[in-house]
Amino acid sequence: MTTNRIEPATGAAADRGPSPQGLAALCGAGVLVFNFPLLMVWDADVSVLGLPLLPVALFALWAALIAALAFASERGGRAPGLRPLPPGDDA
Amino acid sequence: MTPTLTAAPVLSAPLVVGVAIAYLAALFAVAAFADRRARQGRSVIGSAWIYALSLAVYCTAWTYFGSVGRAATTGVWFLPIYLGPMLAMVLAWVVVRKMVRIAHSYRITSIADFIAARYGKSPLVAAVVTLITVVGIVPYIALQLKAVSSGFAVLTGPAGAAGGAGAAWWQDGTLLVALALAVFTILFGTRHLDSAERHEGMVAAVAAESLVKLAAFLAVGAFVTWGVFDGMADIWARAQTLPGLHDLMRLGGAEGSASFGYAQWFSLTLLSMLSVVLLPRQFQMMVVECVDERHIRRAAWVFPAYLLAINIFVLPLALGGMVLFGAGSASQAETFVLTLPLSQGQTGLALFAFVGGLSAATGMLIVETIAVSTMVCNDLVMPTLLRLGAFRAQAGGDLTGLLLAIRRAAIVGVLLLGYLYFQVAGEAYALVSIGLISFAAVAQFAPALFGGMYWRGATRLGALGGLLGGFLVWAWTLMLPSVAKSGWIGDAFLTHGPFGIAALAPERLFGLAALDNLSHSLFWSLLANVSLYVGLSLWRAPSGREASQALLFVDVFARGRSAADPIFWRGRARPDALMALARRLIGPEAAAQIFAAHAHTAGVADPTADARLVDAVERRIAGAVGAASARVLVAAVAEEEPLGTADVMEILDEASQLRVYARALEEKSRSLEAASAELSDANAQLRTLDELKDDFMSSVTHELRTPLTAIRALSELMVDAPDMEEAQREEFLRIIVAESERLSRLVDQVLDMAKIESGHAEWHAVDVDLAAVVRDAVTATRALAQARGAEIELAAPSTVPPLKADPDRLTQVVLNLISNAAKFVPATGGRIAVQVSADADGVEVRVADNGPGVPDEDRDTIFEKFRQGGDALTRPPGTGLGLPISRRIVDHFGGTMWLEQRQGSGACFAFRLPYRPKKMEETP
């Protein structure tokens, strides 16, 4: 292999974004609440504001998950305490 | 499907067709606009919002019509298809970003390309993935055609029923829709001759379609909820009175939650979770068309929010429809979006709803067929042509035209296949069931794709085995039963198993009957897939090329695009042969650009192409024909050495060594840069000092010469005239003495300055009353001032709090300032004002005169050594050392000296000494 010039290694620019561990935890929580047996919690003959509980609960959980994801994503950084900050990474 | 449920007013077929055509034309205009802007370099799709909207191509006619149908019959069961994508998008920042980085780094243009590139750029893997896609996706395309044609039928009433019995083939609306869309897609996606990997126009059009379908669905939903009924609660209140509807909103319906199909619920969630990434159109939009991977961060939550919004009115529409049309209408609920506005006489809204459904279907069809046609062209047709030698036969010709022709043919072919499936099996299954068959097919890509991104040990053999095994099980357990249920083939094997072997019955493999057929198929196919994938991968070690690709994929974030990245290629290639190849596939300009960029990086025009150039050419070609075909093409023009695992390790070693060198070089050059900056700073400082020394020399010699000249002249006069009068002689001697004093004063000052500067000055700090010092100094200089015709006015308190300082030095400072002022006062009416004031922190002394003042340009330099105020010719004599010495003395006792800004005439020098200096300044 021949290279006549060596460029400086650019190094991976610090990718700012939500922490992978935080996202994995959120995904796990989502899988849990949308499946057996937690789903049964909402299976009751109850009305909320005149609407059946099950669909209202599903949509509310869904919206909450979106809100949590939006919060984690738009905050711009990673959740504190989830990962030690490498030096100069959190400008 | 029964076209209408009520005697609703119907629209004329020409009107509906006209609106549809006008809508498609508008879409085309959007695409053309975006394409034009892209060519001008002003992309309109460079936003996370557009990216998120383009992902909403996930919502097809299945969502638009099918969800309501499913909700009407099964309640909340329409939801898992959207909860899966929600969960998948939570991980998008981790997983999808890696896929985008890989795809952009290696110019990957389809999911077949992605998987094949990972497993050693294997043409066989690419072909298998493409075949699975085509077979799996055809039912899905049929679904969209079915939706458009039945929607058309609903709107236009019985007269316009598509595909009705007795109609000639050319009157078949579905076929016409398929052909019209083929033309449209060809215009959309394969218009350019440069066969670019990205389609900005298509992305813009799909984003626009996403907005239209959302707006249309919400409009119908809001109309039904608040226009026809009195809100959602009203719909539910009235629906509860209908038989069976009360239990629809419970898990498991009337039989209670124990009978709820949790396994199927989980399967659906998992399936849709995988599909949102693995469906060809999703991969195209999410990975290939992604402009900037940072967009993923926002799209990750905007896209699920879109899904939530488009599903809000599904249940109200389903229940409202059944309230209006009766509980028995559930089987026709798939057209509620159209029939509900029609039944209320809202033909305009119904037409808008139809346009929304058309958007949903056409968006999916366009992206899906473009993605599939790229795969068919690059991974099935091109390799076949290469193998047959047809490619070599037309050596030298431009192949971009051929590539486009193949893609166009593939688009028509895929759409016609969809139409065929629609004719064969379309009527048997509801919309949702058809879509799930496709979902289950593309789920087979998951182990090979995700495994390949994170597991270095995965091999080509494992991927092939897993894909084929999973696909065969899928075909046996899901595809064939669906065909059989359509009545096209006998369905005896469904119940009794093939050749009477009950254990192999497609929907009850090995007697596993507890699962629904979808979960059953998904379980067995993924089990076979993963087992073969892992088992075969572990069985044989990867080859050199597989190992090298595995490294490039798994560690994609660890590698920048620097020269220190490893290039896994060994051999020799002639640049002109590479150039000819590149010209044929990507056009002369792009080819020339690669070579220019390489020459720029490499520095010289190499007679033999190095590995980096070969790699650059191969990557660019891969963007046009796929990684596998690019590999074959490059191998044909280069003399390559086979790549063993040992070679891969060696290249990797070289690369990491290079990386170390590069980093060391970078560090060294950075420290060199810093050092040279320091040096040039020091040099500049030295230069200034040197200039000052020169000024000093000329200034001092000038000042020394004046008294010396006088002394010498007078002495010579006295030597030449021994008989000089006594009075004259005395006068001369007096002048000589005065001039000698001036000389020694000058020398004293220079020595003083030098002492202070070098830190050898002696300081005697005692308690000093500054007011007394100033008073003494004024008394001492009053005579001097009067000699110049000036008055000194002193304003000082009788005593001020004592300071720690050297009284002699302070006297020197005050004398200096006063004599300085005396030099500059006008010849008559000169006034020097000396003022002493004390406050809580320290004492301030001001010496002001009514002379010409300090010119603005000298203000900054007045305290520098040998800088004298005024013109060298007209200024009063002085050494230029008085002020610098004074300032240093004041500094030494922790005070400050400055030149005050004054309005009007005159200069005002002031200094301030604190009672308790913060710290005695280290001299100098």
Distance in angstroms (rounded) separating the CA atoms of residues B431 and B173: 18
Residues of B in contact with A12 (CB under 8 A): 557-558, 560
Mean pLDDT on B530-547 = 88
Q: Is the pLDDT of residue B196 over 60?
A: no
Owner of token pair 């926002």: B298
- Residue B37: the pLDDT is 85
Give the DSSP H or E segment for B529: helix B517-539
pTM, two decimals, is: 0.70
Q: How confident is the model at residue B390 (pLDDT cuts 50, 70, 90)?
A: low
Of A10, A31, A50, the CB nearest to B560: A10
- Residue B866: the pLDDT is 57
In angstroms, the Cα distances linking B78 to B66, B69, B654, B678 are 8, 9, 55, 70
Question: What are residue B566's phi and psi, to 5 degrees?
Answer: -75, 140
- The answer to whether the CB of B127 falls within 8 A of the CB of B439 is no
Residues of B in contact with A36 (CB under 8 A): 262, 265-266
Q: Model confidence over B605-640: pLDDT tens digits?
A: 555 567 777 888 888 888 778 888 888 888 777 777
Q: How confident is the model at residue B867 (pLDDT cuts 50, 70, 90)?
A: low
How far is A86 from chain B, CA to nearest CA, in Å? 16
CB contact under 8 A, B304 and A58: no
- Residue B426: the pLDDT is 57
Locate the DSSP E strands across B230-321: none
Mean pLDDT on B456-467 = 91
- Residue B394: the pLDDT is 47
How far is B471 from chain A, CA to nearest CA, in Å? 26
Mean pLDDT of chain B: 81
Cis check for the bond before A37: say yes or no (omega within 30 of 0): yes
**Crossing angle of the two packed helices B111-118 and B92-105, in degrees rounded to 10:** 80
A contact residues 5-34, partner B, Cβ 8 Å cutoff = 5-12, 15, 17-18, 20, 23-24, 26-27, 30-31, 34
Give the DSSP H or E segment for A48: strand A47-48
Asked if B603 is an interface residue toward chain A (Cβ–Cβ < 8 A), one would say yes
Q: Is the pLDDT of residue B790 over 60?
A: yes
Q: Give the residue, B224 or B588, on which the prediction is more confident.
A: B224
Mean pLDDT on B684-695 = 84
DSSP B137-168: HHHHHHHHHHHHHHHHHHHH-GGG-TT-TT--
- Residue B107: the pLDDT is 84
- Residue B304: the pLDDT is 94
For residue B389, the SS3 value is coil
DSSP B593-637: HHHHHHHHHHSS--SSB-HHHHHHHHHHHHHHH-HHHHHHHHHHH
**Crossing angle of the two packed helices B173-189 and B123-156, in degrees rounded to 10:** 130
Q: Model confidence over B872-896: pLDDT tens digits?
A: 445 555 666 778 888 888 888 888 8
Q: How confident is the model at residue B158 (pLDDT cuts 50, 70, 90)?
A: low
Q: Give the residue, B794 or B530, on which the prediction is more confident.
A: B530
Percent of chain A predicted with pLDDT > 70: 65
Give the DSSP H or E segment for B694: helix B645-720
- Residue B421: the pLDDT is 80
For chain A, the distance separating the N- and C-terminal CA atoms, rounded to the nearest angstrom, is 38
Q: Is the pLDDT of residue B209 over 50?
A: yes
Mean pLDDT on B309-328 = 88
Locate the DSSP E strands across B732-883: 766-768, 790-795, 803-805, 830-838, 842-849
Q: Model confidence over B824-849: pLDDT tens digits?
A: 888 778 888 888 888 888 888 888 88
Q: Is the pLDDT of residue B745 over 90?
A: no
Residues of B in contact with A10 (CB under 8 A): 560-562
Residues of B in contact with A1 (CB under 8 A): 567, 570, 610-611, 651, 654
- Residue B530: the pLDDT is 95
Sheet containing strand B908-914, edge to edge, reads B790-795, B830-838, B842-849, B908-914, B896-899
Mean pLDDT on A69-77 = 80
- Residue B274: the pLDDT is 92
Distance in angstroms (rounded) separating the CA atoms of residues B165 and B180: 22
Mean pLDDT on B132-137 = 88
Widest CA span of chain A, in angstroms? 76
| Interface with chain B: mutation pick from A41, A65, A82, highest number of B CBs within 10 Å | A65
Owner of token pair 């595995």: B550
Mean pLDDT on B427-435 = 61
Q: Model confidence over B342-378: pLDDT tens digits?
A: 888 888 898 899 889 888 888 888 889 888 988 998 8
In angstroms, the Cα distances linking B278 to B115, B432, B808 are 11, 18, 91
- The answer to whether the CB of B508 falls within 8 A of the CB of B523 is no
Percent of chain B predicted with pLDDT > 70: 88
DSSP assignment letter at B224: I
Asked if A52 is an interface residue toward chain B (Cβ–Cβ < 8 A), one would say yes
Residues of A in contact with B651 (CB under 8 A): 1
How far is B529 from chain A, CA to nearest CA, in Å? 23
Distance in angstroms (rounded) separating the CA atoms of residues B275 and B341: 32
Owner of token pair 């001697």: B733
Nearest to B371 by CA among B431, B432, B414: B414
